[in-house]
Amino acid sequence: MNKVFIVANLKSYKNEQEGKAWLEEFTKHKEELDRYGDREVIIAPPFTLLPSFASAFSGTKVMLASQNLSPFDEGAYTGEVNAKQVKDFANYVIIGHSERRNYFKESEEMLYEKTYQAIKYGLTPIFCVQAEQTIVPEGVRIIAYEPTFAIGSGHPDTPESANTVAQGFMEKNKNYCVLYGGSVNETNVRSFLAEGKIKGVLVGSESLNPQQFVQIIQNAL
Ligand code: PGA
């Protein structure tokens, strides 16, 4: 895992038309993005856009993630999208985002089940932690440290503090790859990665505009 991860989390934004416009704008930068072989670009659109994004990025280096996953295998679970279904379109899945924990009351046990399902079907979890004390299920390799105060607030954690948290996780497991998320933008992205322990970023608000997201990818290193 030597590449730097740059992940866009489009959250619950963009209908089909808006998703198409996002893709059109983003893919205008395809040639310059192809030059950045040292960056693993991952986009997490809403479920409804996964199929169209998957066909748009087929044969390219851009990877896709889902933002959520059923804690169950396939079966009679109305309204859920399971890992086997996601795997048709994506290689990664975001698990344990604070918005899921807070608004949807996702418990540690549920996050464990989601992680289990992801790994069972070959999806790589990007497991969000809110602090150094957050419990990480077994099998997780990529962690995104996202302090709640920094999400969508315009007030990121300091690079030094994020780096210390990353170091703390790596002392628990040297194989962890720790990303930072929370008010990352084109101006501050490099400062997080420059600290040494942070191996990527998870970007919310600033990824909604594809040009800004491209700028973040460019400025990362
Ligand atoms: P933000 O969101 O970039 O808008 O702070 C990050 C996230 O929630 O993953």
CATH number for position 125: 3.20.20.70
Structure tokens at 110: 């549920």
Query: What number of residues does the chain have?
Result: 221
| DSSP helix/strand/coil, 75 | coil
d(CA 32, ligand 1 centre) in Å:
25
CB 209: neighbour CB atoms within 10 A?
13
**Protein residue with least CA distance to atom 1, ligand 1:** 204
d(CA 86, ligand 1 centre) in Å:
22
> Domain total for the chain?
1
State the Cα–Cα distance between residues 184 and 202, nearest whole angstrom.
8
* pTM listed for this prediction: 0.96
Confidence band, pLDDT 50/70/90 cuts, at residue 58: very high
Q: Is the pLDDT of residue 26 over 80?
A: yes
Q: Is the pLDDT of residue 35 over 90?
A: no
**Protein residue with least CA distance to atom 9, ligand 1:** 204
Structure tokens at 144: 């995104």
User: Mean pLDDT across the stretch 20-41?
Assistant: 92
Confidence band, pLDDT 50/70/90 cuts, at residue 133: very high
Q: Is the pLDDT of residue 1 over 70?
A: no
Structure tokens at 152: 């969508």
Which residue is catalytic, options 40, 113, 146, 206? 146
Q: Which residues line ligand 1 (CB under 6 A)?
A: 9, 146, 151-152, 181-184, 202-206
Give the percent of the chain with pLDDT over 90.
94
